[in-house]
Structure 1
Amino acid sequence: MPPTVGERAPDFESLLCTGETFRSTRLDEALDGGCVLVFSAFSFSAIAENWWKRYERAGWADFDVPVLGVTRDGPYAQNAFLRYLESPFRLFSDVDGRVGEAYDLLVEREGMANTTTSWRAVFVLDADRTVTYAWVADDWISPVPREEVEEAVAQL
């Protein structure tokens, strides 16, 4: 079961991509008083492009805590995606699915032979990685409840 409000979210280490560089980083190192951790399937999908643009337009880059994405793409694709969007966000590369597995979000994708991705999900974490807000989609296209996320971030 994915982490729920009040639980401590798993720490992990993966390549954190900035759009130009990437380096192995622990989630604990990327926290800056907390974070918004956004799971999505693949960079360059229409859904990912749409949602990351929406987060930027909604002002999520101005939060007092970082917004960090997690997808199954490799670091070169992640950086290309961030440059393509001219995005202010950073993305963890979860090529082997270990992060998605740690958060119990991996699901086999129908019609994508032997491919698993994380369900779309958003976790707002405080400085100790305690989950203060959790949302896990039950489909691939429903919108993230942005107002709820923004409210949770404001309460950090």
Structure 2
Amino acid sequence: MPDFDVVDLGPADGLDPGDVAPDFTRPLVTDEFWQDRTLSDLASEGRTILVFTPMVGSFLAKYVWDELDERGWDELDERVVGISAATPYGISRFLDENEYPFSLFSDPGNEVAKSYGIAHDLDGMTGISEPRPAFVALDADRTVEAAWVATEWPDFPDYDDLEERLGLA
């Protein structure tokens, strides 16, 4: 048995295939620098997989990025980019310390997750939320092709099934 409670988050009001993902501008962070980027500009470069994780440094975020790194998602034809309710400084340190070859959008106010319908309030912390773990595949016009959203915390996808669902297998 895990030494933590599994929390039912209930159904998410996330995006469905065919929906157009909301555009946003946030700092896109690497282990070396960051700069403001819009999702629309990023997606226009080709198929994009958005990976929402809780705050960087959490075991859940580390587990997700370790898995994606091990599976070689940085070598896919699709661009894989994360979104976390963390500051650019925290994300840059997280990427550097773990030697992850990915970029993550910094969204400390969690506004992107809220606009995507996948934010959840943290128990006992009024006004504090973070994204549910989620994966959203977008085409160049930001149209959702596929998605997976956690319904409990912690929750991880079956990565083989996820790759098939997202059209990566």
Same fold (TM > 0.5): yes
Q: Aligned ranges for residues 13-32 of structure 1 at < 5 Å?
A: 13-31=25-43, 32=45
Taking the aligned partners of 1:74 and 1:18, their CA distance within structure 2 comes to: 12
Q: Deviations over 1:48-99 (max 9, x none)?
A: 1111011110111111011111111000000000001100110000112221
The CA distance in 2 between the partners of 1:74 and 1:44, in whole Å, is: 12
How many residue pairs end up in the alignment?
155
**Is the partner of 2:152 in helix, strand or coil?**
coil
Corresponding position of 1:49: 62
Alignment of 1:137 with 2:150, yes or no, is yes
Which consecutive residues of structure 1, in runs of 5 or more, have no partner in the other structure? none
Q: What's 1:9 paired with? A: 21
TM-fit CA distance, 1:26: 0.1
Is 1:116 the counterpart of 2:129 in the alignment?
yes
Structure having the higher Rg: 2
TM-score normalised by length of structure 1: 0.92
Do the aligned partners of residues 142 and 97 (structure 1) sit closer, same or farther apart at CA in structure 2, a change above 3 Å counting?
closer
- Are 1:91 and 2:107 counterparts? no
TM value normalised by structure 2 = 0.86
